[in-house]
Chains A and B, each alone.
Chain A
Amino acid sequence: MSLVASFAGPERAAGRQYVPRASQARRLTRGVFYAVLTGLGIYAIAPLVIVLFASLKSEQELAANPLGFPHHLMWSNFANAWTEGNIGTGMRNSAIIASGTIVGVCIIAGLAAYAMGRLNLPGGNLVIVYLIGVSALPIQLFLVPLFYLWSHIGLYNSLLGVIIIYCALFSPFATLLLRSFMVSLPRDYEEAARIDGASELRVLWRVTLRLVAPGFLTVALIAGLSAWNEFLIGVTFLQSPNLQPVSVALYSFQQGYSQNDSLISAAGIIMLLPMLGLFLVLQRHFIAGISAGGLGG
């Protein structure tokens, strides 16, 4: 998965919505729109619902009734997937990796964005060009030498090693996003703090950070989601079953001898649940963040 910022900036405000006056032809058009939009909604959600149903069926019931609502809810599928599929261990590892990545990216990108957006960093424009260029590089280009390097300095098969890689991969977009937040802030508060004799680090900590908290929330969400879902780095750098992130554990479980679709579905639902919950609670921040800094994969 690659990450690229769109540089549209968070300041892009939602304009007043244009709503046409209803006439008969318009009402027909709108009816068609609602029908198509509903069809698209079913296309997006139905597969997920079918798999949720599948995760609650026994193997026999799944064979007899593949699509419908489960008759006997097999909650034990989730417990079995958690242990048999190594999903529990994977969830723990992914939680460690995602938290480490969030903290690392916020610190690294926060410091850099502060220098670029608030301190008039000399050569700042060159840094922007560099960060955009780096975002377009394929991971596969540097994957093999990185693998070699990581094996030599003991970071292969280590959660910390993967956290460092994610920090490097996600911090360019985070820096550009936070920089655009910081550029748009008024400078008066910081000037006041400086006149009162505060050091630069103290100004950053006590004043600027408080003002850009929404930007950090966005960055934390995107970095956390990306780290949770990432596959290529995880499957390459974490080989031991007790260190695998949940994406790799799920992949191994699905590829393994167990062809129990109910358990595999349950494992998939387990992996999805934390992000789905977070999305439902913080929907607005997710969508604002993702439309401000495009995130692709």
Chain B
Amino acid sequence: MNELRRAFLKKAGGFGSVAAAIAAGLLNPGAAFAAAWNTLAFTAKDPAEALKNAGYEGATDSSDIMIKAPDIAENGAVVPVSATSNIPGTTSMAIFVEKNPAPMIASFEFSNGAEPYISTRVKMAKTSIVRVAVQAGGKNYTTSREVKVTIGGCGG
């Protein structure tokens, strides 16, 4: 089984395309990783579609989600972003950079005491809206803020 998988991955890697990444992403990497990688959300080019495919359709604006990010990022390749949800019962969170070739950055699911807080560093192709969506009590909420980028994170 493992042998087959390796051979397949080798082959897939040879194409050197986004398609190869998608194919590889579809394979369940192991028991520790319960859910399959959300290919539909991560490959969506349209921010609204990415939001929808990630399971945050119809999210309402909320001022109880805080996004911490610089107003102006000098280097789009590394933009620190952190987000906190003050909505009680927040179970999951996703980060989007709307003008990126693939707007969906990451999704997070909190359990067993993890606070609805994430800090990370994202890539930004250009000045864009950074959007954070959360799910709490079966409802979707979102907030966004603009980050200006002086040097893009893709190419260059």
A and B together in one complex: no
Chain A residues engaging chain B, CB cutoff 8 angstroms? none
Chain B residues engaging chain A, CB cutoff 8 angstroms? none
